[in-house]
Structure 1
Amino acid sequence: MSRASQASHALRALFLLTACFHSCDAQLRLASYYGDHMVLQKAPARAVLWGYGPEGAHITVSLSGAIQQKTSPVTVTTGIWRVTLDPVDPGGPYMLIVSSDNSSVTLRDVLFGDIWLCGGQSNMYFQTSQIFNASSELALASKYPHVRPFMAGLNLSETELLDLIQVQIPWSVPTVGVLTEFSAVCWLFGRYLYDVLKYPIGLVESCWGGTTVETWSSVRALQRCRSEEIVVGPRNDSLLWNSMIRPLLNMTIYGAIWYQGEANTEYREDKYNCSFPAMIDDWRMAFHQGSSGQTDLDFPFGFVQLSTCHKNSTAEDFPNVRWHQTADAGFVPNQRMKKTFMAVALDLPDESSPYGTIHPRDKQDVAYRLVLGARAVAYNETDLPFHGPFPKEVLSLYSSIIINYDQEVSVTPSKDIFEICCLRDQAQGGVNSHWVPAPILQWASNAVRISTVSCQDSGVAGVRYAWKDWPCDFKACPIYSTDHMLPAPPFIVN
């Protein structure tokens, strides 16, 4: 047997042992992420429910409310039962009763709507109590009783788990107390989305500060970006996939949002253009399979492009990861990253953040930009501008370059936001060896002309925009869209 096959069999055995461990008490109960006040995925998808029970017991699930339904009995096998409800339109509340031969469990105030998974590291973990205008934002909690938060506990596992080890915040009707510790980006995204959709939104937070994309990726996904053999045993990679994502796969979800990448500026930065798209692909496949096809195989995935960290840094780690977040296309959706959307955040620095400059407090604009992307990509709102200007053509003229954008732009002068690399420098040390500022000379409704005087004796080998850790002050980058004032993302053309 190959080493890869041995690894697969070992993981399967550990998975079954985990299932047996969770069901050893032989009592009827649901998996950790079901409970009162929960949101289940609405029609046309079908919500999946599962849990534990006495071996051989017969389980039925009944739903009562605006509509009534009762599932056919299923048999508990290896301590596990699983049912799939018929599609339910958005709304509620419902009562859900899980019955076995001699016991039952009742869940109350159940809603049906769209479930969004919120993942990533510390800027997704960043709590609502920490943002600008936190008191005002928290005071709005009671006005959104149909936007329901849930938070997975922070736990590691060296093996893939069937269920969460711990629940930090069970499904809850939002209150100041609950939202104080809940992800600000996740909550604001759900709240803004509810304002548009007007039906329940379920928010599942599963994130951890300081973590790399590899930690959230399965071994299977990691193998797509490097060829080393699978190692059975302790490893840093996949630890949070095992404990905080793999257990959620049976849940039917609508989409996911993600804020992560800072940790990868210091770890496998050059692999992020592969590892991040590979993780998205793998999550989509795994949630689709885990929900027996109820979660779409191409469910929408939104993410936040990195904000800022060091104001005067000349290091290119943050710009490089921003670029890699788009699989080196500069924009999404693209051929490699279909049905994705991005919130650009490099114009939202926070020099006085008490949580460090890497943690800007303006999460409202981040969430607003994510929701624009979700409305366009996930909910098919046609003709909705949802991303900033991106070059569709770069023309080299005598002593200048014209960048034609894909939409109308609002421009303010800048001497150094654009940079060029001269052919003489490329010949001496590569295109990344020396970049010099290229001032903006003129602009039109959808074009910008920049100076190339610095390269006049040799010609231009490359052009880039906003290729700095901290390219501009708060909402003061020079190029925005005229619709919604969305910042132009960074780009590089060689």
Structure 2
Amino acid sequence: MATKLCGVFLLVVSIRACEGDLHFASYYGDHMVLQKSPERAVLWGYGPEGAQVTLTLSGPSKQNASVVTVTKGIWRVTLDPVEAGGPYNVTAAAQSGTATLMDVLFGDIWLCGGQSNMWLQTSKIFNASQELDLSAKYPHVRTFMAALNLSETEETDLIEVEIPWSVPPANVAQFSAVCWLFGRYLYETLQYPIGLVESCWGGTPVEVWSSPRALQRCGLHQTGNGPKDNSVLWNAMIHPLLNMTIKGAIWYQGEANAAYNQEKYNCSFPAMIDDWRMAFHQGSGGQTALDFPFGFVQLSTYEQGSESDAFPNIRWHQTADKGFVPNSRMKKTFMAVALDLPDATSPFGTIHPRDKQDVASRLTLGALAVAYNKKNVSFHGPFHKEIRSSPTSVNITYDQKVSVSPSKDIFEICCSGVQTPCGPESHWVAAPIMHWGPTTVQLSTSLCPLPGGVAALRYAWRDWPCEFKACPIYSASGILPAPPFIKDLSSSQRKPGT
């Protein structure tokens, strides 16, 4: 296991000793993937001050050599667009020497961030041996992993590299399972190279991955120490990557915010996405899209039988309190609902469910629809488009055909006569499913002891709402679960979003 140090791979070794010699920045290396056309890949590195660096690309298609001058110890080249494929050799040459990247492919680069459920390695998931055996069949899905480092200031380059660019099956066992499977599934549809960049740290809140300007938008101030110190991972593990041209990002985080600035997550998470988009766009000289697609995993489960609203609240806040994405606050985003994938016997704790295949598959559907504009791709479960209440029932109309299993308690109603808006302290009672049709579900309000009807409705509003793939509402195919929601019905004819 090695990091690239002046052309030699030595795992998790500081790159800083190379500065002054002609070499590429830390996250360039043999076997890497660079962003394909129509975007233009950015290459940069270090060299003697004032030196003339000539960059050449040799492979299936030719490009004119680029000549740049080292300024403040750094050189930088933006390539002309290159179609998907390869392999290429990329050479930077100066009077003081040369540096060459071998076996470089062009494809799509996806950044994978978050906390321990993104970090959870492929060797630890269900069917790990089978997945690792399969990985050798995907040599065009390449992986790279940043090492865990903190910084109080914004770093220009990664302090260390954990896993250099690798060709499967090398290092897949130690790589993020969600990230790897997402890339593999994308490749199966797209059939061109995919580059995966993992930068995540277990147990970390969103604040450490956010720049100070993003946090200021949400009224968040400096708190904590170590990996919970605001912006320290933004500084060390995201800011150094900004010059890289990327296609998009996926994210699995939120558990750490269930008990840390929970009430701010509906601001801090969307603000982080907005800020990453702006920063990557600027850092790449406009090559990474200003609205690059961003996918995320909605929290799975933790404590069976828990009465806490912490996980339900974070799931809701992950959608900027809309319940679904993309939405007006979170454009060009996609979400994998995971509350129906609990793992009570996980040896890594229930907070780390081992079924990452379904998580990655749901993310991939979102990416194909949102990032790649594939038509007729169903990528989200049913969400209500109309809710009407009567003295005896609540009638829900969904935005698509549904597959329904009877349930007595996953829907809950807040009875009128209590203080509104309904909250955790309100009187919530079960609303059993009575009838359903192709796009409708009818609930009974018979358990509401107060006159005056229903003040609010919620669905799957608990930490562990159902057993494995056994929630009551799915898409007609039975593949995509309905996301949780909470809805004020004080105006019983109100439609969602109004």
The two structures have a TM-score, normalised by structure 1, of: 0.93
Would you say the 8 A contact 2:391–2:453 is kept in 1? no
Shift of 1:107: 1.0
Shift of 1:382: 1.8
RMSD: 1.8
- Structure 1 vs Structure 2: percent identity of aligned residues? 69
Aligned equivalents of 1:275, 1:428: Cα separation in 2? 23
Would you say the 8 A contact 1:264–1:321 is kept in 2? yes
Distance 1:278 1:457, change over 3 A: same
Shift of 1:101: 2.3
Would you say the 8 A contact 1:192–1:368 is kept in 2? yes
Partner residue, 2:472: 478
2:303 partner SS: coil
Would you say the 8 A contact 2:413–2:457 is kept in 1? yes
Aligned equivalents of 1:61, 1:369: Cα separation in 2? 40
Distance 1:204 1:54, change over 3 A: same
Distance 1:367 1:23, change over 3 A: same
Identify the match of residue 343 of structure 1 among 336, 344, 347. Answer: 336
Partner residue, 2:436: 443
Would you say the 8 A contact 1:426–1:461 is kept in 2? no
Would you say the 8 A contact 1:41–1:47 is kept in 2? yes
Distance 1:484 1:293, change over 3 A: farther
> What are the ranges of 5 or more consecutive residues in structure 1 without an aligned counterpart?
1-20
Identify the match of residue 39 of structure 2 among 39, 45, 50. Answer: 45
Match runs of 1:456-471 below 5 Å: 457-471=451-465
Which structure has more helix as a fraction of its residues?
1
Aligned equivalents of 2:143, 2:117: Cα separation in 1? 17
Identify the match of residue 172 of structure 1 among 166, 171, 176. Answer: 166
Shift of 1:234: 11
Distance 1:228 1:117, change over 3 A: closer
2:468 partner SS: coil
Distance 1:189 1:484, change over 3 A: farther
1:79 has 2:73 as partner:
yes
Shift of 1:402: 0.3
CA offsets 1:380-424 (integer angstroms, 9 cap, x no match):
012211000000000112300001000000000000000000112
1:299 has 2:292 as partner:
yes
Distance 1:234 1:314, change over 3 A: closer
Distance 1:323 1:24, change over 3 A: same
Amino acid at match of 1:187: W
CA offsets 1:267-308 (integer angstroms, 9 cap, x no match):
000000000000000000000000000000000000000000
Would you say the 8 A contact 1:71–1:85 is kept in 2? no
Identify the match of residue 327 of structure 1 among 302, 306, 320. Answer: 320
Aligned equivalents of 1:399, 1:427: Cα separation in 2? 21
Partner residue, 1:54: 48
Aligned equivalents of 2:176, 2:421: Cα separation in 1? 48
Partner residue, 1:282: 275
Which moved further from structure 2: 222-231 or 251-260? 222-231
Match runs of 1:178-217 below 5 Å: 178-217=171-210
Would you say the 8 A contact 1:23–1:53 is kept in 2? no
1:88 has 2:106 as partner:
no
Distance 1:90 1:149, change over 3 A: same
Aligned equivalents of 1:484, 1:29: Cα separation in 2? 52
Shift of 1:436: 0.7
Partner residue, 1:380: 373
Shift of 1:489: 0.2
Aligned equivalents of 2:287, 2:227: Cα separation in 1? 33
Aligned equivalents of 1:465, 1:70: Cα separation in 2? 59
Match runs of 1:191-270 below 5 Å: 191-226=184-219, 236-270=229-263
Identify the match of residue 392 of structure 2 among 395, 399, 403. Answer: 399
Partner residue, 1:3: none
Identify the match of residue 143 of structure 2 among 137, 140, 149. Answer: 149
Match runs of 1:347-366 below 5 Å: 347-366=340-359
The two structures have a TM-score, normalised by structure 2, of: 0.92
2:486 partner SS: strand
Identify the match of residue 117 of structure 1 among 108, 111, 119. Answer: 111
Amino acid at match of 1:43: S
Partner residue, 1:424: 417
1:26 has 2:23 as partner:
no
Would you say the 8 A contact 1:277–1:337 is kept in 2? yes
Would you say the 8 A contact 2:414–2:454 is kept in 1? yes
2:368 partner SS: helix
Distance 1:294 1:467, change over 3 A: same
> What are the ranges of 5 or more consecutive residues in structure 2 without an aligned counterpart?
1-14, 489-498
Shift of 1:457: 1.9
2:417 partner SS: helix
Distance 1:25 1:276, change over 3 A: closer
1:63 partner SS: strand
Aligned equivalents of 1:72, 1:50: Cα separation in 2? 12
Shift of 1:71: 3.3
Partner residue, 1:98: 92
Aligned equivalents of 1:235, 1:489: Cα separation in 2? 29
Would you say the 8 A contact 1:22–1:52 is kept in 2? no
1:424 partner SS: coil
